[in-house]
Amino acid sequence: MSTRAINMLRAAELERVRALVEARGLGLLFLKGMAFVDTLYPDPGERPMCDADLLVRPDERAAVARLLVEQGYRRPGGAVARERPVTCATDYELGLRSPPPLAMSVELHSGFCQPQRYQVDLAGVWRRAVRLRAAGREIPTLAAEDQLLYLALHLSKHGFMADGRVDEDIRRAIAQWRPDWRVVVERARQWRIRTGLYVALLRARSAGAEVPATVLDELRPGLARRLLMDRIVDRRDGYRSRQQRWSRGWQAVTVLLSVEHPANLARFVASYGALRARDWYAARRQRSAVEGRR
Protein backbone atom coordinates (compact mmCIF):
# COMPACT_ATOMS: atom_id res chain seq x y z
CA MET A 1 0.00 0.00 0.00
CA SER A 2 1.31 3.47 -0.84
CA THR A 3 2.46 6.00 1.77
CA ARG A 4 -0.39 8.27 0.72
CA ALA A 5 -3.04 5.58 1.24
CA ILE A 6 -1.59 4.50 4.59
CA ASN A 7 -1.42 8.07 5.88
CA MET A 8 -4.99 8.78 4.81
CA LEU A 9 -6.19 5.68 6.69
CA ARG A 10 -4.17 6.69 9.75
CA ALA A 11 -5.50 10.24 9.63
CA ALA A 12 -9.09 8.97 9.46
CA GLU A 13 -8.53 6.62 12.41
CA LEU A 14 -6.91 9.32 14.51
CA GLU A 15 -9.72 11.73 13.73
CA ARG A 16 -12.08 9.12 15.14
CA VAL A 17 -9.84 8.65 18.20
CA ARG A 18 -9.59 12.42 18.75
CA ALA A 19 -13.37 12.78 18.72
CA LEU A 20 -13.78 9.90 21.21
CA VAL A 21 -11.09 11.22 23.55
CA GLU A 22 -12.44 14.77 23.56
CA ALA A 23 -16.00 13.49 24.06
CA ARG A 24 -14.77 12.02 27.37
CA GLY A 25 -13.43 15.44 28.37
CA LEU A 26 -9.80 14.38 27.92
CA GLY A 27 -7.02 16.23 26.10
CA LEU A 28 -4.93 15.07 23.16
CA LEU A 29 -2.39 16.78 20.88
CA PHE A 30 -0.89 15.39 17.67
CA LEU A 31 2.91 15.34 17.53
CA LYS A 32 5.31 15.14 14.59
CA GLY A 33 4.05 13.34 11.49
CA MET A 34 0.33 13.25 12.15
CA ALA A 35 0.38 16.96 13.02
CA PHE A 36 2.07 17.75 9.72
CA VAL A 37 0.15 15.55 7.27
CA ASP A 38 -2.42 17.76 5.50
CA THR A 39 -0.88 20.90 7.08
CA LEU A 40 2.82 21.19 6.28
CA TYR A 41 2.45 18.37 3.75
CA PRO A 42 -0.75 18.94 1.69
CA ASP A 43 -0.05 15.68 -0.15
CA PRO A 44 -0.24 12.91 2.52
CA GLY A 45 2.15 10.80 0.47
CA GLU A 46 5.02 13.24 1.03
CA ARG A 47 5.55 12.47 4.74
CA PRO A 48 6.32 8.81 5.58
CA MET A 49 6.14 7.83 9.24
CA CYS A 50 6.59 4.77 11.41
CA ASP A 51 3.93 5.43 14.04
CA ALA A 52 1.57 8.06 15.44
CA ASP A 53 2.67 10.14 18.44
CA LEU A 54 0.02 11.69 20.69
CA LEU A 55 0.59 13.95 23.69
CA VAL A 56 -1.76 13.46 26.63
CA ARG A 57 -1.75 14.98 30.10
CA PRO A 58 0.13 12.84 32.65
CA ASP A 59 -2.91 12.41 34.88
CA GLU A 60 -5.07 11.42 31.89
CA ARG A 61 -2.78 8.92 30.17
CA ALA A 62 -4.29 5.88 31.89
CA ALA A 63 -7.82 7.01 30.98
CA VAL A 64 -6.89 7.58 27.32
CA ALA A 65 -5.16 4.18 27.22
CA ARG A 66 -8.28 2.48 28.65
CA LEU A 67 -10.42 4.19 26.02
CA LEU A 68 -8.17 2.92 23.25
CA VAL A 69 -8.22 -0.59 24.69
CA GLU A 70 -12.03 -0.40 24.62
CA GLN A 71 -11.66 0.34 20.89
CA GLY A 72 -9.58 -2.79 20.32
CA TYR A 73 -6.07 -1.36 20.77
CA ARG A 74 -3.55 -3.64 22.50
CA ARG A 75 -0.18 -3.32 24.20
CA PRO A 76 2.49 -5.02 22.05
CA GLY A 77 4.64 -7.63 23.73
CA GLY A 78 8.06 -8.74 22.57
CA ALA A 79 11.62 -8.52 23.83
CA VAL A 80 11.42 -4.90 24.99
CA ALA A 81 8.50 -5.63 27.31
CA ARG A 82 10.35 -8.66 28.72
CA GLU A 83 13.70 -6.96 29.16
CA ARG A 84 12.48 -3.55 30.35
CA PRO A 85 9.22 -4.20 32.25
CA VAL A 86 9.59 -1.28 34.67
CA THR A 87 10.37 1.17 31.88
CA CYS A 88 7.36 -0.02 29.86
CA ALA A 89 5.13 0.47 32.90
CA THR A 90 6.42 3.80 34.18
CA ASP A 91 8.09 5.68 31.30
CA TYR A 92 6.71 8.84 29.70
CA GLU A 93 5.52 6.97 26.58
CA LEU A 94 3.07 4.10 26.29
CA GLY A 95 2.87 2.04 23.11
CA LEU A 96 -0.35 0.59 21.71
CA ARG A 97 -1.36 -1.01 18.41
CA SER A 98 -4.69 -0.54 16.67
CA PRO A 99 -6.71 -3.58 15.61
CA PRO A 100 -6.30 -5.10 12.12
CA PRO A 101 -6.32 -4.43 9.29
CA LEU A 102 -4.62 -1.07 9.95
CA ALA A 103 -2.50 -2.30 12.89
CA MET A 104 -1.14 1.22 13.47
CA SER A 105 1.42 1.79 16.21
CA VAL A 106 0.40 4.63 18.53
CA GLU A 107 2.52 6.12 21.30
CA LEU A 108 0.84 8.04 24.10
CA HIS A 109 3.33 10.57 25.45
CA SER A 110 2.81 12.23 28.81
CA GLY A 111 5.90 14.36 28.18
CA PHE A 112 8.49 15.13 25.53
CA CYS A 113 11.23 13.07 27.20
CA GLN A 114 12.38 11.97 30.63
CA PRO A 115 11.57 14.99 32.82
CA GLN A 116 15.10 15.10 34.27
CA ARG A 117 16.74 15.98 30.92
CA TYR A 118 15.34 19.45 30.31
CA GLN A 119 13.08 22.01 31.96
CA VAL A 120 10.12 21.63 29.61
CA ASP A 121 7.12 23.78 30.55
CA LEU A 122 4.40 21.24 29.76
CA ALA A 123 1.66 23.32 31.36
CA GLY A 124 2.58 26.18 29.03
CA VAL A 125 2.66 23.80 26.06
CA TRP A 126 -0.95 22.85 26.73
CA ARG A 127 -2.03 26.48 27.26
CA ARG A 128 -0.46 27.52 23.97
CA ALA A 129 -1.79 24.58 21.94
CA VAL A 130 -3.59 25.39 18.69
CA ARG A 131 -6.29 23.72 16.62
CA LEU A 132 -5.72 23.47 12.90
CA ARG A 133 -8.24 22.30 10.35
CA ALA A 134 -7.16 20.57 7.15
CA ALA A 135 -8.61 17.93 4.81
CA GLY A 136 -11.81 17.83 6.82
CA ARG A 137 -10.22 16.94 10.15
CA GLU A 138 -9.36 18.73 13.37
CA ILE A 139 -5.68 18.77 14.29
CA PRO A 140 -4.96 19.84 17.87
CA THR A 141 -1.21 20.37 18.07
CA LEU A 142 1.63 22.53 19.39
CA ALA A 143 2.09 26.24 18.80
CA ALA A 144 4.67 27.08 16.12
CA GLU A 145 7.44 27.98 18.59
CA ASP A 146 6.85 24.84 20.66
CA GLN A 147 6.92 22.76 17.46
CA LEU A 148 10.51 23.83 16.76
CA LEU A 149 11.61 23.14 20.33
CA TYR A 150 9.92 19.75 20.35
CA LEU A 151 11.52 18.70 17.06
CA ALA A 152 14.94 19.82 18.35
CA LEU A 153 14.34 17.93 21.58
CA HIS A 154 13.34 14.83 19.61
CA LEU A 155 16.61 14.98 17.66
CA SER A 156 18.58 15.51 20.87
CA LYS A 157 16.85 12.62 22.58
CA HIS A 158 18.07 10.28 19.85
CA GLY A 159 21.57 11.69 19.71
CA PHE A 160 20.84 13.51 16.42
CA MET A 161 20.81 10.14 14.64
CA ALA A 162 17.87 10.66 12.30
CA ASP A 163 16.97 10.72 8.65
CA GLY A 164 16.04 13.91 6.82
CA ARG A 165 12.36 13.92 7.82
CA VAL A 166 12.85 16.12 10.89
CA ASP A 167 15.07 18.53 8.95
CA GLU A 168 12.35 18.91 6.33
CA ASP A 169 9.68 19.24 9.04
CA ILE A 170 11.62 22.12 10.57
CA ARG A 171 12.20 23.76 7.20
CA ARG A 172 8.49 23.67 6.37
CA ALA A 173 7.40 24.76 9.86
CA ILE A 174 9.64 27.83 9.61
CA ALA A 175 8.46 28.68 6.09
CA GLN A 176 4.73 28.20 6.68
CA TRP A 177 4.14 28.95 10.37
CA ARG A 178 6.64 31.80 10.77
CA PRO A 179 7.60 31.30 14.44
CA ASP A 180 8.55 34.28 16.58
CA TRP A 181 12.32 33.84 16.87
CA ARG A 182 12.60 35.92 20.03
CA VAL A 183 10.14 33.59 21.72
CA VAL A 184 11.92 30.51 20.36
CA VAL A 185 15.31 31.61 21.71
CA GLU A 186 13.95 32.64 25.12
CA ARG A 187 11.97 29.43 25.49
CA ALA A 188 15.01 27.36 24.48
CA ARG A 189 16.91 29.08 27.28
CA GLN A 190 14.12 28.33 29.77
CA TRP A 191 13.87 24.70 28.68
CA ARG A 192 17.68 24.40 28.70
CA ILE A 193 17.79 23.04 25.17
CA ARG A 194 19.81 25.68 23.36
CA THR A 195 22.47 23.18 22.25
CA GLY A 196 19.91 20.81 20.76
CA LEU A 197 18.09 23.63 19.01
CA TYR A 198 21.36 25.02 17.65
CA VAL A 199 22.28 21.69 16.04
CA ALA A 200 18.72 21.09 14.78
CA LEU A 201 18.59 24.51 13.12
CA LEU A 202 22.00 24.01 11.52
CA ARG A 203 20.77 20.73 10.06
CA ALA A 204 17.55 22.34 8.85
CA ARG A 205 19.48 25.23 7.30
CA SER A 206 21.48 22.66 5.32
CA ALA A 207 18.09 21.48 4.01
CA GLY A 208 17.18 25.03 2.93
CA ALA A 209 15.51 26.45 6.05
CA GLU A 210 15.72 30.22 6.50
CA VAL A 211 17.27 30.63 9.95
CA PRO A 212 18.48 34.12 10.90
CA ALA A 213 22.19 34.28 11.68
CA THR A 214 21.40 36.28 14.82
CA VAL A 215 19.35 33.35 16.15
CA LEU A 216 22.24 30.93 15.68
CA ASP A 217 24.57 33.44 17.35
CA GLU A 218 22.33 33.55 20.42
CA LEU A 219 22.03 29.76 20.60
CA ARG A 220 25.66 28.89 19.85
CA PRO A 221 27.09 26.73 22.68
CA GLY A 222 30.49 27.24 24.26
CA LEU A 223 33.63 26.41 22.33
CA ALA A 224 34.40 23.09 24.05
CA ARG A 225 30.88 21.73 23.64
CA ARG A 226 30.68 23.00 20.07
CA LEU A 227 33.98 21.36 19.09
CA LEU A 228 32.89 18.05 20.58
CA MET A 229 29.51 18.20 18.84
CA ASP A 230 31.16 19.08 15.53
CA ARG A 231 33.42 16.03 15.81
CA ILE A 232 30.50 13.68 16.48
CA VAL A 233 27.48 15.11 14.68
CA ASP A 234 27.24 15.75 10.96
CA ARG A 235 24.78 18.55 10.33
CA ARG A 236 23.04 16.69 7.54
CA ASP A 237 23.39 12.98 8.23
CA GLY A 238 23.62 12.50 11.99
CA TYR A 239 26.67 10.49 13.07
CA ARG A 240 29.66 10.64 10.79
CA SER A 241 29.89 7.46 8.75
CA ARG A 242 33.28 6.53 10.19
CA GLN A 243 31.70 6.31 13.63
CA GLN A 244 28.77 4.06 12.73
CA ARG A 245 30.30 0.96 14.29
CA TRP A 246 30.38 2.77 17.65
CA SER A 247 26.91 4.23 17.20
CA ARG A 248 25.59 3.28 20.64
CA GLY A 249 28.55 4.83 22.39
CA TRP A 250 28.47 7.98 20.29
CA GLN A 251 24.73 8.28 20.76
CA ALA A 252 25.23 8.21 24.54
CA VAL A 253 27.99 10.84 24.35
CA THR A 254 25.90 13.10 22.11
CA VAL A 255 22.86 12.77 24.37
CA LEU A 256 24.95 13.77 27.38
CA LEU A 257 26.42 16.75 25.50
CA SER A 258 22.93 17.96 24.58
CA VAL A 259 21.86 18.02 28.25
CA GLU A 260 23.50 21.35 28.91
CA HIS A 261 22.81 22.03 32.61
CA PRO A 262 24.88 20.04 35.15
CA ALA A 263 21.92 19.58 37.52
CA ASN A 264 19.75 18.16 34.73
CA LEU A 265 22.57 15.88 33.61
CA ALA A 266 23.14 14.54 37.15
CA ARG A 267 19.43 13.89 37.69
CA PHE A 268 19.04 12.24 34.29
CA VAL A 269 22.04 9.91 34.71
CA ALA A 270 20.98 8.93 38.24
CA SER A 271 17.33 8.31 37.34
CA TYR A 272 18.17 6.43 34.14
CA GLY A 273 20.67 4.21 35.94
CA ALA A 274 18.15 3.44 38.68
CA LEU A 275 15.45 2.66 36.13
CA ARG A 276 17.66 0.23 34.21
CA ALA A 277 18.66 -1.47 37.47
CA ARG A 278 14.98 -1.93 38.31
CA ASP A 279 14.40 -3.30 34.80
CA TRP A 280 17.17 -5.85 35.27
CA TYR A 281 15.85 -6.97 38.65
CA ALA A 282 12.22 -7.22 37.47
CA ALA A 283 13.19 -9.10 34.29
CA ARG A 284 15.31 -11.51 36.34
CA ARG A 285 12.41 -12.22 38.68
CA GLN A 286 10.08 -12.80 35.75
CA ARG A 287 12.51 -15.27 34.17
CA SER A 288 12.92 -17.09 37.48
CA ALA A 289 9.15 -17.32 37.88
CA VAL A 290 8.74 -18.76 34.37
CA GLU A 291 11.50 -21.29 34.92
CA GLY A 292 9.94 -22.28 38.27
CA ARG A 293 6.63 -23.14 36.57
CA ARG A 294 8.29 -25.49 34.10
Strand partners, 141: 130
Quick: pLDDT tens for 126-151. Answer: 999 999 999 999 999 999 999 999 99
The pLDDT, as a whole number, for residue 185 is: 98
Quick: pLDDT tens for 169-195. Answer: 999 999 999 999 999 999 999 999 999
Q: How much is the average pLDDT of 235-257?
A: 64
Q: How much is the average pLDDT of 35-44?
A: 94
The pLDDT, as a whole number, for residue 242 is: 45
Strand partners, 95: 107
Angle at 93 between CA 80 and CA 286, to 5 degrees: 35
Q: How much is the average pLDDT of 156-174?
A: 88
* Cβ atoms 192, 154 nearer than 8 A: no
pTM above threshold 0.85: yes
- Return the SS3 of 109: strand
Task: Tell me how far apart the alpha carbons of residues 96 and 113 are, in angstroms, rounded to a whole number.
Answer: 18
> Which of 29-33, 36-40, 144-148, 234-238 has the least mean pLDDT?
234-238
The pLDDT, as a whole number, for residue 138 is: 94
- Return the SS3 of 45: helix
The pLDDT, as a whole number, for residue 71 is: 96
Task: Tell me how far apart the alpha carbons of residues 33 and 292 are, in angstroms, rounded to a whole number.
Answer: 45
Task: Tell me how far apart the alpha carbons of residues 199 and 167 are, in angstroms, rounded to a whole number.
Answer: 11
Most distant CA atoms of the chain, gap in Å: 66
What domains can be seen in the chain, in order of their start residue?
A: 1-142 (3.30.460.40), 144-253 (no CATH)
Most trustworthy range by pLDDT among 122-126, 135-139, 235-239: 122-126
